[in-house]
Structures are given as C-alpha cells and as structure tokens.
Structure 1
Amino acid sequence: MIKIDKKIYIERRQQSIGSEIVDLLVEQIGHELYNHNLYRTFANYFAVKGLHKLEEYYVGRADEEVKHHQWIVDRLNYTDVSYKYPNIPAVKVDIKDEEDTFVQTFDKELETTALIYNIVKAAEKEGEWGTVKWLQDTLVDEQTEEEHISRKFLKIARQDIDWVTKEDYILDYYQAAQDADD
C-alpha cells in the first residue's frame, strides 16, 4: 500500500486539489477578471477616439478573460472546491496614447504568464498531475497565444502608419485567429 501524507489525505477527502493550489487558482480568477476590466477600459478609450475596430478588438480580448475565469471556476467546481470570489481592484491606468494600450496589454499578458507558470510549478511540487495536465491543456496553451498576439500587435502599434490602417490589420488578424481556434 502506498503511504499518503496525512494532511494530503484529509484535504483530498474534501476536495481533490490542495489548498495552496486552490488559493493560487482563486487568485488567478481575480487576475483574469481584472484583465477583463482593463481591456474594457481600453475598449472605451478607443470607442471615444472613434477607432471602433480597436474597440471591438479590446471587447474581444475582455471576453476572452471572462472565458479564462470560467475555465478556472469550472475546474474548482469539478474538484469539489468551496471558495469565495476574490476582490477585484479598480482599474487605475493612465493611457498616454493609442500605442500605450498595447504596451500595457503586453505587460499584463507577461504578468499573467508568470502567474500561470507559478501555479504550474506549485502543482508539480505538490504532485497534482491532473492539475498540471489541465493547466497545460487550457491556461498555458491559451496564455502562449495571448502573449504571442500581444507581442505582434505591439509591434504593429509601433509602426509609423496611421491608426485606421493599424486597426484594420489588428482586428482582421485577431478575428482570423479566433475563427481558427473555433
């Protein structure tokens, strides 16, 4: 018979993932919802500027963040975890110009990648291989794409062409990538 750590055994009788991983996942729920609010703030910025394709792009990005949050919620429910939603801080950003939204988006996606990798490391350390696999198949794969798109669009934002041309390219590329994922 395999000997199981008593603390792990007691925890697993109530939920199938450990409390440290639960805490990290609940924290990630808050992060994803904050990202949603940030991207909706950027959508508003572009709506007011009359750049409606960039508004649509950021609404799409915001909707993706809600989807990521839902994946985590579904995982916590699947593993019989009882939790409370975290507080979501208010979005307090200064937007210098159109390019700045893309800089802030890329920085936010880099931060998100680091947080997700931290959850993977913690799950590996705890030997929670089901969680590791789930993370790889959902959040890690998705985050790799998010970071790639954010890097690509930051490069476009920095090009010396007008914003109407930039928004056409960004929205067309983004929508094509979304269609390929469906």
Structure 2
Amino acid sequence: MNTNRLSKTIEAALNAQITKEAHASQIYLSFAAWASSQGYAGIANFLFKHAHEERNHMMKILEYILKRGAKVEVTSIPNPPENPLNLYNCFEKVFGQEVENTKAIYKVVKKSHEEGDWATWNFLQWFVNEQVEEETLAMNLLDKIKIAGGENMSNMAQYSFDRDIENTSQEITPAQDVTTANP
C-alpha cells in the first residue's frame, strides 16, 4: 500500500525548499565567520544563531515530508556568495537572501493551494509568518545601518551597532509565538 500523501510536484517542491533552507544556513554561517574575522563578535553571534535557525527550518520541512509518507531527497547546496564588503553590504545580502527565500516559500504555498493539499498549505503558513519576521528584522537592521552612515559608518558607529546586535539578538520572537497582542 502506498502511504505517500504528497503529490510528486509537492514532494519535489518541498525537497527543493529543504535545499534552499540548507543554503540559507550556509550563507548565514559564512557571513558569521566573516563578521567574526572582522572583530564583530555581536554580529557574528547573531548570524551564527540565524544559521542554526535556518537549519531548524530545513529539519522542520524534512520531518513534514517524512510524516506525509513521502521521500526526502538531500541534494548538494551551492556555495555561499562572496564575503560582504562591509556591514551594510552584509545586511543587504541577508535581506536579499530572505526575500528570495520568501519567493520560494510562496511558490510552494501556491502549488499546494492549486492542488488542494490543505495539510501542506496549512503547514507552510508557519513559514509565511516566519518570512515576514525575517524580512522585517533584516529591513530594520539595514535602516539602523543607514542612519549610522551606511557604507561610510564610522568605527564608533560600527562598534555601537555590533554591541546593539549583541544585546538584542536573544530577543527574537519565534514566528509561532507571535500574536497580534505580542508582535
């Protein structure tokens, strides 16, 4: 008896998303290593945590595929992009990566809607909410960097930004805990 509850197209799309989440983790890991080598301990810590969070997203999708009786396909991931040129460029790249991930999630959501796979559609709503959170966080950090001088941030502004990130990186609310009363 076939116990697979996912269509071949949804299975393939979710497996592709696993690869995208793994790639996102590698990007954060690469940028964290860059930040650490530049002396930005707070930013490095923030980015290392986000690398771990992206890996958790990958695992969440992997586990869902298995729960639906489908086959997981682990594939190779692309190399992360080149190291950032500066802090502004780092967070521009972070924002761009999050936007691309959002687009990928939306494609799977649309496909699940078109196929009437309501279990997958419902499962993916967590990721839709998570991507709003991730994009907003990246935009807010870019705004702070712009206010501090953008690509021309002074050393003192870079130091302050690094300390600010170090002190706030623990305060990220997971998407599943966010409500209208607790944004």
What TM-score, normalized to structure 1?
Answer: 0.87
**Bigger shift: residues 15-24 or 88-97:** 88-97
- 1:41-120 to structure 2, matched below 5 A, reads 41-120=30-109
Alignment partner, residue 167 of structure 2: 172
Alignment partner, residue 154 of structure 1: 142
- Distance, in Å, in 2 between the alignment partners of 1:121 and 1:175 is 33
- Distance, in Å, in 2 between the alignment partners of 1:148 and 1:106 is 9
2:16 to 27, 32, 37: 27
- Distance, in Å, in 1 between the alignment partners of 2:73 and 2:41 is 36
RMSD between superposed Cα atoms in Å: 1.9
Q: Percent identity?
A: 25
User: Relative to structure 1, is the Cα distance of residues 100 and 133 closer, same or farther in structure 2, using a 3 angstrom cutoff?
Assistant: same
Aligned length: 170
- Distance, in Å, in 1 between the alignment partners of 2:46 and 2:83 is 20
User: Relative to structure 1, is the Cα distance of residues 179 and 64 closer, same or farther in structure 2, using a 3 angstrom cutoff?
Assistant: closer
- Distance, in Å, in 2 between the alignment partners of 1:83 and 1:43 is 29
Q: Secondary structure at the match of 2:79?
A: coil
- 1:135-150 to structure 2, matched below 5 A, reads 135-136=124-125, 138-150=126-138
Q: Give the structure with higher Rg (CA).
A: 1
Q: Secondary structure at the match of 2:147?
A: coil
What TM-score, normalized to structure 2?
Answer: 0.86
